[in-house]
Amino acid sequence: MTENIPIRVMLVDDHHLFREGVSSLLKRDERFVVLSEASNGEQALELLADATPDVILMDVRMPGISGIETTRQILKKHPAIKVVMITASEKDEDLFDAIKAGAQGYILKAVTDSKQMREAIFAVAAGEAIIPPAMVPRLLNEFATIADGKRREAEEAPPETLVEAGLVAAPEETVAPEDDSINLLTPREREVLELVAEGLTNKEIASRLVISVNTVRSHLRFILDKLHINNRVQAAIWYQSQQ
């Protein structure tokens, strides 16, 4: 996101009145421009061929392709786009699936504070992650459980299964041990990642470490690249799974 250039937003929701309301809200804020609107996932995918937004506000449940599957398809082709799921659903599985699909934010339609919604969209465009605070512990617990399950499967699997999966070398082979992913990070990157996992914003991390916000963003880009993950939410989840 560049200074003084409006954030281009696409609205994807099957309820016309909701799109109209959000569009009107954003148009009153000079930081945003509503680039396009779609009533379903198929239409959203078609519109992306004409113009690429910075942020997509995506409904979770729509006729045809779901918002989560649409998000997955969009980010496969356009990984730089930030997707915020806007939904009436507080179901844990919707949140988990949205994050696994690569969504940067999750806003409940029950939110009535228009300023809060605008600030959340602006934060996501700047690289932050927006998750309802009450849902964060459940999210981290779910992914920690998944990570534990995968570790147990690896520990309990017969040796020949691990060889076939490429997780260990065959007896006659010798391979150099690989460092854990955490060891790829510099000490400063580890500090940044730890604070991301605590839920701090880039501005709060910058203040805590006495560095600039731009430096925090640079560290975060390197962290995501080294860990081969898509966004700070997934980075936080990965960090928690390692503890």
Q: How far is CA 65 from CA 13, 62, 97, 179, in A?
A: 12, 7, 14, 40
pLDDT at residue 46 in the model? 94
CB 59 within 8 A of CB 70: no
Q: How many other CB atoms are found less than 10 A from the CB of residue 51?
A: 10
Return all residues near 190 (Cβ < 8 A) that are at least 6 apart.
Answer: 182
Q: Which two tokens stand for residue 176?
A: 């150099």
What domains, with CATH codes, occur in the chain?
7-131 (3.40.50.2300), 136-242 (1.10.10.10)
pLDDT at residue 156 in the model? 56
pLDDT at residue 179 in the model? 44
pLDDT tens per residue across all 243 residues of the chain: 555 789 999 999 999 998 999 999 999 999 999 999 999 999 999 999 888 999 999 998 888 899 999 999 999 889 889 999 988 766 767 777 888 888 888 888 776 678 888 888 888 888 777 776 666 666 666 655 655 555 565 555 555 544 444 434 444 443 333 446 677 788 888 898 888 888 788 888 889 999 888 888 888 888 888 887 777 777 877 777 676
Q: Bridge-partner residues for 11, per DSSP?
A: 37, 57
pLDDT at residue 124 in the model? 87
pLDDT at residue 29 in the model? 92
Radius of gyration of the chain (CA): 20
Q: In degrees rounded to 5, what are phi and psi of residue 38?
A: -135, 145
Residue 223, SS3 per DSSP: helix
Residue 175, SS3 per DSSP: coil
pLDDT at residue 161 in the model? 45
pLDDT at residue 165 in the model? 41
pTM of the predicted protein model:
0.65
pLDDT at residue 166 in the model? 42
* Helix H or strand E segment including 47: helix 41-47
pLDDT at residue 108 in the model? 81
pLDDT at residue 39 in the model? 93
pLDDT at residue 145 in the model? 62
Q: In degrees rounded to 5, what are phi and psi of residue 21?
A: -65, -45
Nearest to 117 by CA among 129, 109, 125: 109
Runs of H (alpha helix) within 91-201: 92-101, 114-125, 136-156, 159-165, 187-197
Q: Is 199 left (phi over 0), alpha (psi -120 to 50) or beta?
A: left
